[in-house]
Structure formats: C-alpha cells, structure tokens
Structure 1
C-alpha cells in the first residue's frame, strides 16, 4: 500500500557542524508537556528492551530508549520528537562511550534509528499515522515542526515504523520503500513482523509481565521462539538446576533401590539355600529313623526283599 501525499520539506544549507548544538546544549524535556499517558507506555518499552537480543551487534553497539527527545533537524535545532520507543544500532551504548544520554541528537550521533514504535493513544492518531489516519493532520505551516509520521518518513527515513493500539491490539507496520512508507500486510490472528536489519521478529505475546497479564509486543527469533528477559533466563537456569538436582536425587534413589533389590535377591537366594539344606537334612534324618526302625524289626535296610 502506498502512502498518500506527503509534506514537502524545505531544505536550506546546513550550518557548520562545529556550530551545531550537542546533547548537552539541548533540553532533555519540556515542562509544559504531559508525562506518560498510562502505565502501558512505561511498562511495554521495558519488555522490548529486556528481550532485545541481536546477533550482529554487541550490547555496546546498541542503544534503545523510550520517551526520550529525538532531535532530527540541524536547521531547527530545537525541534524534536519523543518516540514511545526507538532503536539505534551501530552506535556506542553510552554517549561518546562515556555517559548515559539525556536525548538523542541525530546530527551529533550521525546514525538514525533503525526502527521506531509508537503506542497509539486517544488524540495521537493523526500525529502517529499521518496520511494513514482516519482524519489526517493538515500539512504543517511554514516554520512549524512537521508531524511524527513526516519526520520518521521524510527527514530521518527510518526503515521500520510500527504503530500499536493497545485498546484493540492492532499492530501496523510501515516499511520505507523508495522514500515513502508502505503499510505491510499482517496476519490479524497471529501478528508477526520480521525486521531484516536486526534479524528479529516482533510479535504479540499473551502473557504476564510486571505482574500484568495481557497482550504485549515482544521479540522472537526466526523460528518464532519468544526471547527471554534476564529474569526469565535466571528463572529457567534455576529451574534447570533444580531439575538437574532432582534427576541426581532420583538417580541416587534408583541406585539405592537397585542395591536394595540386589540385597533382597541375595537374601532370597541364601534363604532358598537354607531351605534346600534343611529339606535335605530332614530327608536324611527321616531315612535314618526308618533304617533304625527296620533294624529293630530284624530287617536289614540295605537288603530289602
């Protein structure tokens, strides 16, 4: 599906890179902006971050963040968007390898995000979906910041853009094709999106996270196996350790039972030998009594007629 008409972004010569502000020069928040609209906006990014496991990048080369200022225009250095979650690969985990970030400045970092996820909220549909919204926003007037959709598509050209509506669990995926976002078809009953740049899939998982049972966005591998959080990895390791100890206990128990069976078998064999010896002794005693009786009657037991 091809997106509708897009806004035209005026371009002007870039100022000198040395004159541009860095992360330390730009505000990290706006006191006039409201905070996170609900718990989901704060909890869902944690699951995305905790299950992110990339094979082509070390942890020191991955940066992901949520609700963090993303500065995108060196001609308008105060303009920023605040994605609900975004991922950058091929950059230091720490800013210049030293400190955590208070914002992400694209012209300073020189690497744009590989994907952005927005969680749809009442009132944000037009901003998040642009021409794909039921009621798209009008084009931004000159001198005003464009909407998120336009920034992600035309300015940053982020190859993967996803919008998730927690209310109806609808996940939408926009892939950058020839400079424009095209919405990709997703199976409604089993939404699973393969992101080729990071070799992971994003799907809708029904489970409990932070004590809340519901549907969550979660990473999985090419075979559809959900990737685990560190807590789940630790829990599984403890469970494997417990099972290993249980198997060891059962093996020792089986060994003890085997020895017990061997002891009982030996005792039974000895008992049979005793019974056979006793039966033989009783037969010998009975024969001796019979011979003695015959002799008392004047009969030679060795020469019976």
Structure 2
C-alpha cells in the first residue's frame, strides 16, 4: 500500500497567517537562540526555528512556539510546499526535543494551556524564560518529561540533547541585557556568528602584535626580520 495515501490532507491547514505581533526584545532573543545553534553546531543535524507553527493533528489548531529545537531532522528541500511549511508531527515523525517560551505578559498561558499541550505532545524539555517576572519570582524554569508528565528541573543541563541553558548579562546586537543562552557541559556559551568573527579578529590582532614585537627584538639585535632564513 502507498503510505502517502495514509497521510492527512494538509490543503486546509493554516501554515502562516501573516499577523505577527511580537516585541523587539523577544524577537532578538529568539534569533540569539536559533542563530547560535546554527553557527556553533555546523556538523550536527537539527532544526531550530522561531514562531513556526507545530501541528499535532490536522483537526487541531497549531501551537506557535517562540523557539523550538528538534534533533535529527532538517527542513525539507521543497519548503514552500504546503506540507513542508511548518512543523507537522506526522511528517517529522517526532515532536520537538526542546521548546522555549519567552514571557512578555500574562496572556500567553505559558504555565497553563501551553504547558499542557507540550506535555501531551511529549516534548522532552519545556523552558519558560520570564525576564520581567510576569508569572512569578523565578526568571527561568525548566521542565523535563518524565513518564507522561513534566517534572520541574533543578539544573539547566538538558541531558537528552547534550546542551545547557544559562542566563548571560552581555551585549547582543548593541543591546545590553540579560539573555538566555545555550551552553555546553562546561557552561561555555554557544557563540553567534558575529561573536566567532570577533574572536578570530582578536586572535589575528594578537598574532600581528606578537610578530611586530619579535621583529622589533630582531632589529635591536642588528638583524633584519624581513630576510628569509
């Protein structure tokens, strides 16, 4: 039997509605989280996205996560085709591994309806980042799926995806703030492309200065540093 005949009809799915209404802080935070994964993990297979709908069934409205990470899957080549425009669980054959919600007000229901939907979807890790303490005193809360239900975590290392999360006070795209960042097992940040380029620039400058100091010492000894030896 042709398995394609068993796939749900996606003709009527709303894969985008062109009515985004997010804020500057959330938009930058989302790009920081997705961008640093792609710049730091070029050899791993995964899909990270922001504000993309996740469908569990065609008959139920999608849930749109601020950020999600799904390992061992990639965006299909023909991504403009209807069935490839958003995250359909029956297409990818798995839920995302991590979902992150960024709280900007009390309307998002991050610890209510969304919590329940991600739990039912069997997302392994659910993260709620609440920089303005809209939902309580805790700025960062992490939940791990254990059995059928979420249990709150006391640490920020996500064992199943071999990544951690940490809060970082610093500058991203000219804005000083406290950001949520990915990190490795040692707590080292996963860098953005710009951060990696800046590190390379600093290394090159240090090497140039080292070469200039060496040349100056050779000249002081009466030797020409430009002569080939």
- TM-score, normalized by length of structure 1? 0.64
Q: Could you tell me whether the CA contact under 8 Å between 2:169 and 2:176 is conserved in 1?
A: yes
User: Residue 265 of structure 1 corresponds to which residue in structure 2?
Assistant: none
* Aligned residue runs from structure 1 range 270-281, under 5 A: none
User: Residue 44 of structure 1 corresponds to which residue in structure 2?
Assistant: 29
How much is the aligned-residue C-alpha RMSD, in angstroms? Answer: 2.4
Q: Relative to total residues, which structure has the larger strand share, 1 or 2?
A: 2
Give 2:141's match in structure 1, choosing from 172, 177, 185: 172
Q: Which runs of 5+ in 2 are unaligned?
A: 224-229
User: Residue 148 of structure 1 corresponds to which residue in structure 2?
Assistant: 114
Deviation at 1:109, TM superposition (A): 1.6
Structure 2 residue 17 is the aligned partner of structure 1 residue 35: no
Q: Could you tell me whether the CA contact under 8 Å between 2:39 and 2:191 is conserved in 1?
A: no
How far, CA to CA, are the matches of 1:205 and 1:217 in structure 2?
6
How far, CA to CA, are the matches of 2:42 and 2:213 in structure 1?
42
How far, CA to CA, are the matches of 1:25 and 1:109 in structure 2?
19
Deviation at 1:202, TM superposition (A): 0.5
Deviation at 1:181, TM superposition (A): 0.7
Alpha carbons of 1:37 and 1:185: their partners in 2 closer, same or farther (altered >3 Å)?
Answer: same
Alpha carbons of 1:153 and 1:17: their partners in 2 closer, same or farther (altered >3 Å)?
Answer: farther
Q: Which runs of 5+ in 1 are unaligned?
A: 1-15, 131-146, 187-192, 261-305
Deviation at 1:216, TM superposition (A): 0.3
How far, CA to CA, are the matches of 2:16 and 2:126 in structure 1?
23
Show structure 1 runs of 4+ deviating over 4 A: 53-57
Size of the aligned set, in residue pairs, is 213
Deviation at 1:47, TM superposition (A): 0.8
Larger Cα Rg: Structure 1 or Structure 2?
A: 1
Give the match's secondary structure for 1:214. strand
User: Residue 217 of structure 1 corresponds to which residue in structure 2?
Assistant: 180
Give the match's secondary structure for 1:231. helix
Give 1:107's match in structure 2, choosing from 90, 94, 113: 90
Give 1:65's match in structure 2, choosing from 49, 64, 68: 49
Q: Could you tell me whether the CA contact under 8 Å between 1:54 and 1:200 is conserved in 2?
A: no
User: Residue 87 of structure 1 corresponds to which residue in structure 2?
Assistant: 69
Give the match's secondary structure for 1:150. helix
- TM-score, normalized by length of structure 2? 0.84
Q: Relative to total residues, which structure has the larger helix share, 1 or 2?
A: 1
Give the match's secondary structure for 2:180. strand
How far, CA to CA, are the matches of 1:54 and 1:114 in structure 2?
19
Give the match's secondary structure for 1:118. strand
Measured against aligned partners, the alpha-carbon deviations of 1:53-110 in whole angstroms (never above 9, x if no partner) come to: 6999834x21111111111125x2x521001110111112x21x34365311111221
